[in-house]
Amino acid sequence: MLTAFNVSKWPTQNAELKTWVIEMAEMCQPDALVWVDGSEEEKQRLEKEALATGELILLDQQKWPGCLYHRTAANDVARTEHLTYICTPSQEEAGPNNNWMSPEEGYKKAGALFNGSMKGRTMYVIPFSMGPVGSPFAKIGVELTDSIYVVLNMRIMTRMGEKVLQKLGPDGAFTRCLHSKADLDDTRRLILHFPHDNAIWSVGSGYGGNVLLGKKCLSLRIASFLARSEGWMAEHMLIMGVENPSGHIVYIAAAFPSACGKTNLAMLIPPEGLKHKGYRIWTVGDDIAWMRIDTDGKLWAVNPETGFFGVAPGTNMQSNPNAMLTVKKNTIFTNVVLTPDKGIWWEGMDGDVPQEGINWEGKPWKPGMVDDTGNKVHGAHPNSRFTAPVTQCPSISNRIEHHHGVPIDAIVFGGRRAHLAPLVYEAFDWKHGVFIGATMASERTAAQFGKQGEVRRDPMAMLPFCGYNMGHYFQHWLDMGKKMDKAPKIFNVNWFRLDDDGRFMWPGFGENLRVLEWIMDRCMNTAGSKRTAIGYIPKARDLDLAGLDIPETTMEKLLSIDKNDWLEEVRDIEAFFKTFGSAMPQEMYNQLEGLAERLKQ
Ligand code: TSX
Ligand code: MN
């Protein structure tokens, strides 16, 4: 038991911070308290300690230099949305898109779980900055945690340590982030957000999205709330630069629901057929974009993170060579297969399948294994992850530290639609683009749990991450459009359209650059299109398809719309909009009506 706090030796003069750390430590009762400085020496020390307890396993340092392996508890392998709450005074503020608890109840319920939860453990104090330290975009957080795994992940995912405390100074503001694994019991797990208090309390989990509090909790849920009141945007978007043959870089921010290959797109490699033109791709981020209007009237974006926390299964030298090169060193692998030679493997990795290994549950595993009910036993968990520094990505942009970010020319929404949506289309204007984002949807794949083909709406890919009522969020998007002199153009893409035999019509992956090329040319008013009921769609000849072997009729299908399917979609959208009640802006219904009328013409 920690008997006294040596407060005079603490590396900060920030009174609010000191008071809060004392209060939280009195509640959680750790045996020791450590201020994380972010140094290399500290990293070595923490790794050594976690290796000794088995919390981490050292991989073969010849093959995987600097790499570590970790498993989370079997009941703790994904974000737990049903245990995630927004704690605001009124439920209306949280909206139908969030679970809600009053702040009083939240503090009381979680407080009972935090009480004494760190007995026998060390409480680590992690000061971190989301966004370049000192940038006008940046927000400082301080996470208290009893997990070394969390400290080592935050070290990759954020700018952290002494430099952040320096920036915070004696009276700087910060998001108070409290985390304890407690007993990892999922009946005593809560992920609570207190937007009015700028605080996050997460207890009972050790899984990334629930515990790396700078990521979804701060950079999306809390930040989206702050962004609305401060007049900026916190979005679930990748950021990429496409350098055209003349050396000009167009920056794109893009939102996709899960399982659409967002990380793959962010790290795209130009295809052979287009490479000779001189295109290059620059990755700025793969998950989160913070965007502000600058003095030029344009929208500028930073990636608040410094790492990738990517899904491992399906990542290979075909789907994402840059990701494979990124995770070769200094990477933490979570819930993948551990091979006998202290290597790692996941479903869909290149090379030979290991003949045996220890799977994500820590059990002996062989390829082809089935359980009692005849179902395939996974080696790696489908949600297994790599945590790797962005600086190791071969395509990383040299502007990731720029304090004003990169200027966004195009916003791209996407989804997985087998039949409805064409390969790409452009919104008529900002308001119509907001409507397209608000109606985003994906169809469930066979790989996902639940009914295959079911349409799930996920506006702007923010449904699980918007920290307030989504009706108000759509209004904020509309308001932002009015404030910009040069708003980005808005597009929608669908890489997943099927032919009558159920085969993908578009080759996807690197070939998507052909679609991005059209998007860029539209931004510079140099590409043709056809005006349709849903927006501007390219004609087949408006896309550069050189070197691609797609029949003319297939291209026509990819770029076509079926009015009856779209009228059915209109009815589905209306039902979805109604779930937001009176919070839904009238403009969204005007857009819906406009679409219905254009379809009937
Ligand atoms: O990530 C994907 N992208 C974006 C890449 C930049 N995936 C993988 C989705 C799961 C995460 C895709 N899958 C894409 C895509 O553009 N397209 C498809 C569908 C597809 C799959 C295989 C083939 C073609 C399309 N081709 C062959 O199998 C040969
Ligand atoms: Mn994400």
Query: What is the band of 4 on the pLDDT scale with cuts at 50, 70, 90?
Result: confident
Whether the per-residue pLDDT at 524 is higher than 90: the answer is: yes
Using only the alpha carbons of the chain, give its radius of gyration: 24
Q: Are 410 and 520 in contact (CB under 8 A)?
A: yes
* 577, amino acid identity: F
The pLDDT, as a whole number, for residue 445 is: 77
Q: Is the dihedral angle over the CA atoms 98, 99, 100, 101 positive or is it negative?
A: negative
Ligand nearest to the CA of 305: 2
Residue 509 corresponds to which tokens in the numbers above? Answer: 């992956």
- Are both 139 and 204 inside the same structural domain? yes
Percentage of the chain surpassing pLDDT 70?
99
pLDDT digits (tens, 9 = 90+) for 61-108: 999 999 999 999 999 999 999 999 999 999 999 999 999 999 999 999
Residue 406: HSE in the Cβ half-sphere, 13 Å Cα cutoff = 28
- Are both 315 and 300 inside the same structural domain? no
- Are both 276 and 356 inside the same structural domain? no
Q: Which residue has the tokens 């990759």?
A: 156
Tell me if 569 is assigned to some domain. Answer: no
Indicate if ligand 1 lies below 6 Å from the C-beta of 550: no
Residue 465 Cα to ligand 2 midpoint, Å, equals 9
Residue 455 Cα to ligand 2 midpoint, Å, equals 19
Q: List the residue whose alpha carbon is closest to atom 29 of ligand 1.
A: 507
Task: Encode 218-247: b = buried (16+ Cβ within 10 Å), e = exposed.
Answer: bbbbbbbbbbbeeebbbbbbbbbbbbbeee
Which positions are annotated as active-site residues? 260
Tell me if 296 is assigned to some domain. Answer: yes
Q: DSSP for 124-190?
A: EEEEEEESSTT-TT-EEEEEEES-HHHHHHHHHHSEESHHHHHHHTTT---EEEEEE-TT--GGG-E
- Are both 39 and 99 inside the same structural domain? yes
Mean pLDDT along residues 266-291: 94
Q: How many CB atoms lie within 10 A of CB 264?
A: 24
Domain stops at, among 524, 539, 560: 560
- Are both 442 and 457 inside the same structural domain? yes
Q: List the residue whose alpha carbon is closest to atom 18 of ligand 1.
A: 508
Tell me if 343 is assigned to some domain. Answer: yes
Average pLDDT, the chain: 97
Task: List the one residue out of 267, 260, 264, 265 whose CA is nearest residue 494.
Answer: 260
| Rounded-to-integer distance, Cα 224 and Cα 477, Å | 11
- Are both 298 and 414 inside the same structural domain? yes
SS3 569: helix
DSSP state of 214: I
Residues whose CB falls within 8 Å of the CB of residue 102, separated by 6 or more in sequence, listed in order? 87, 89
Mean pLDDT along residues 271-293: 94
- Are both 520 and 539 inside the same structural domain? yes
Please choose from 238, 242, 252, 264 the residue to mutate so as to test ligand 1's pocket, defined by most ligand atoms within 8 A of CB.
264
Tell me if 591 is assigned to some domain. Answer: no
- Are both 262 and 404 inside the same structural domain? yes
Task: List the one residue out of 439, 474, 469 whose CA is nearest residue 572.
Answer: 439
| Rounded-to-integer distance, Cα 425 and Cα 155, Å | 40
- Are both 424 and 291 inside the same structural domain? yes
Q: List the residue whose alpha carbon is closest to atom 16 of ligand 1.
A: 508
Q: Which residue has the tokens 């291209």?
A: 555
Whether the per-residue pLDDT at 414 is higher than 70: the answer is: yes
Tell me if 453 is assigned to some domain. Answer: yes
To the nearest 10°, report the CA torsion of 115, 118, 124, 125: 10
| Rounded-to-integer distance, Cα 385 and Cα 381, Å | 9
Indicate if ligand 1 lies below 6 Å from the C-beta of 507: yes
- Are both 277 and 193 inside the same structural domain? no
Indicate if ligand 1 lies below 6 Å from the C-beta of 508: yes
DSSP state of 218: I
The 3-class SS string of 220-265 reads: HHHHHHHHHHHCCEEECCEEEEEECCCCCEEEEEEECCCCCCHHHH
- Are both 31 and 105 inside the same structural domain? yes
| Rounded-to-integer distance, Cα 498 and Cα 134, Å | 47
Residue 32 Cα to ligand 1 midpoint, Å, equals 49
The 3-class SS string of 143-156 reads: EEECCHHHHHHHHH
The 3-class SS string of 74-114 reads: CCCCCCCHHHEEEECCCHHHHCCCCEEECHHHHHHHHHHHH
Tell me if 523 is assigned to some domain. Answer: yes
CATH number of the CATH domain containing 456:
3.90.228.20
pLDDT digits (tens, 9 = 90+) for 437-494: 999 999 987 767 777 789 999 999 999 999 999 999 999 999 999 999 999 999 999 9
- Are both 405 and 434 inside the same structural domain? yes
Residue 362 corresponds to which tokens in the numbers above? Answer: 């820590």
Residue 334 Cα to ligand 2 midpoint, Å, equals 16
The pLDDT, as a whole number, for residue 2 is: 66
The pLDDT, as a whole number, for residue 307 is: 98
Percentage of the chain surpassing pLDDT 90?
96
Tell me if 93 is assigned to some domain. Answer: yes
DSSP β-bridge partners for residue 203: 180, 190
Q: Are 488 and 503 in contact (CB under 8 A)?
A: no
Domain stops at, among 398, 429, 463: 398
Tell me if 14 is assigned to some domain. Answer: yes
* 376, amino acid identity: K
Whether the per-residue pLDDT at 340 is higher than 70: the answer is: yes
Residue 533: HSE in the Cβ half-sphere, 13 Å Cα cutoff = 20
Query: What is the band of 3 on the pLDDT scale with cuts at 50, 70, 90?
Result: low
Query: Cβ-count burial of 373 within 10 angstroms (0-12 exposed, 13-18 middle, 19+ buried)?
Result: exposed
Instruction: Please give the distance of CA 522 from its chain centroid, rounded to a whole number.
Output: 27
What is the maximum alpha-carbon separation in the chain? 77
CATH number of the CATH domain containing 145:
3.40.449.10
The DSSP element (H or E) to which 44 belongs, if any, is helix 40-53
CATH number of the CATH domain containing 331:
2.170.8.10
pLDDT digits (tens, 9 = 90+) for 564-584: 999 999 999 999 999 999 999
* 134, amino acid identity: G
Range(s) of the domain holding residue 145: 7-55+81-230
Query: Cβ-count burial of 295 within 10 angstroms (0-12 exposed, 13-18 middle, 19+ buried)?
Result: exposed
Domain stops at, among 195, 230, 265: 230
The pLDDT, as a whole number, for residue 5 is: 81
Ligand nearest to the CA of 516: 1
Please choose from 495, 517, 558 the residue to mutate so as to test ligand 1's pocket, defined by most ligand atoms within 8 A of CB.
495
Number of structural domains found in the chain:
3
Residue 402 corresponds to which tokens in the numbers above? Answer: 């720029």
Q: Are 477 and 470 in contact (CB under 8 A)?
A: no
| Rounded-to-integer distance, Cα 6 and Cα 390, Å | 37
